[in-house]
Amino acid sequence: MIKIPLKSAADLEAMRTSCRMTAEVLSQVAAAVQPGVTTGELDALTRRLIGGMKAKPSFLGYRGYPGAICISVNDEVIHGIPGRRVVLPGDVVSLDVGVYYNGFHGDSATTVMVSVTDPDVIRLVETTKRALEAALAAAKPGGRLSDVSHAVEGIAKASGCSVVREFVGHGVGRHLHEDPQVPNYGAPGRGPVLKPGMTLAIEPMVNLGSPDVVVLDDKWTVVTRDGKPSAHFEHTVAVLEEGVEVLTLA
């Protein structure tokens, strides 16, 4: 039996705050992604921004994760550890950050193209972004969770891209990862009914080539098996009576 926590009005107000902070941090770090910057410098910026808000990075120390942000470049799908790597022209850089404030987490990701000219990479990133938008549009109170999953898969496949199956979206709130899991594939009309008070992190991870992924020896970095690029976008949303509110809009 999965247990999906329903948030009270006060909880939702607190989620709005942590998610607004998350969006602010993500947009400032995204603006700092340019040729020559190291991923470690972007991590330091993330720590400064979150510290300045009197908040905590959700990921730092989570199951031993060593960074405040996940930075995944090119064939890295998710959970890239910031360090000495230098961002170069042509890179596709996914940023995923969480902010913990007043008892609640926000979780959001975006993918930045650094002077990318390869049309396949542009197609990948635009498709992944559209997949998230389609998922948000498919999330409706009274609807079913897998309607969201199905929407992501439909957009990815229609553009000749593939969806990562080993990692999924999730409930988010007092804990970074809560029930239910939110896969990015599957038939519609299945899974739990979406109810007001649910808060979800919806996060398509889309590959240009095959869907297969491998975890590196660092035990964190997830890369594509075929070495082709991958993209990731994520928003935290709240299901309300009147529809879905995207909490991590910049």
> 79 contacts which partner out of Co ion, ligand MF3, none, CB within 5 to 8 A by kind?
ligand MF3
- Which residues does 143 contact at the CB level (< 8 Å), separation at least 6? 193, 194
Pairing of strands 243-246, 213-215: unpaired
Q: Of 105 and 228, which has the nearer Cβ to ligand MF3?
A: 105
Find residue 244's DSSP bridge partners.
Answer: 239
**Dihedral class, residue 212 (left if φ above 0, else alpha if ψ from -120 to 50, else beta):** beta
Phi, psi of 60 (to 5 degrees): -60, 115
Residues forming contacts to ligand MF3 in the complex (CB under 6 A) are: 59, 62-63, 65, 70, 79, 96, 98, 107, 170, 201, 203, 234
Q: From the CB of 119, what's the least distance to Co ion, in Å?
A: 28
Q: Minimal distance in Å, beta carbon 62 to ligand MF3?
A: 4
Question: At its nearest, how many Å lie between ligand MF3 and the CB of residue 5?
Answer: 16
Question: In the complex, what is the shortest distance from the CB of residue 99 to Co ion, in angstroms, rounded to a whole number?
Answer: 11
**Between 40 and 188, CB nearer to ligand MF3:** 40
Here the tokens at position 117 are: 């000219």
∠ Cα 129 140 26 (to 5°): 35
Q: Is 22 or 74 the residue whose CB approaches ligand MF3 more closely? A: 22
Number of residues that bind Co ion (CB under 5 A): 6
Q: Which residue is nearest to Co ion (CB)?
A: 201
Nearer to ligand MF3, 38 or 181 (CB): 181
| The total number of residues written for the chain in this structure | 250
Give the Cα separation of 229 and 209 in Å (integer): 8
Site for Co ion in 77-136 (CB under 5 A): 96, 107, 109
**CB of 115 vs ligand MF3, minimal distance in Å:** 26
Is 23 among the residues that bind Co ion (CB under 5 A)? no
Binding track, positions 200-229, relative to Co ion; x by CB under 5 A = -x-x--------------------------
Q: CA 241: distance to chain centroid?
A: 24
Query: Is the separation of the CB atoms in 250 and 26 below 8 Å?
Result: yes
Give the chain's count of helices (H) and strands (E): 4, 15
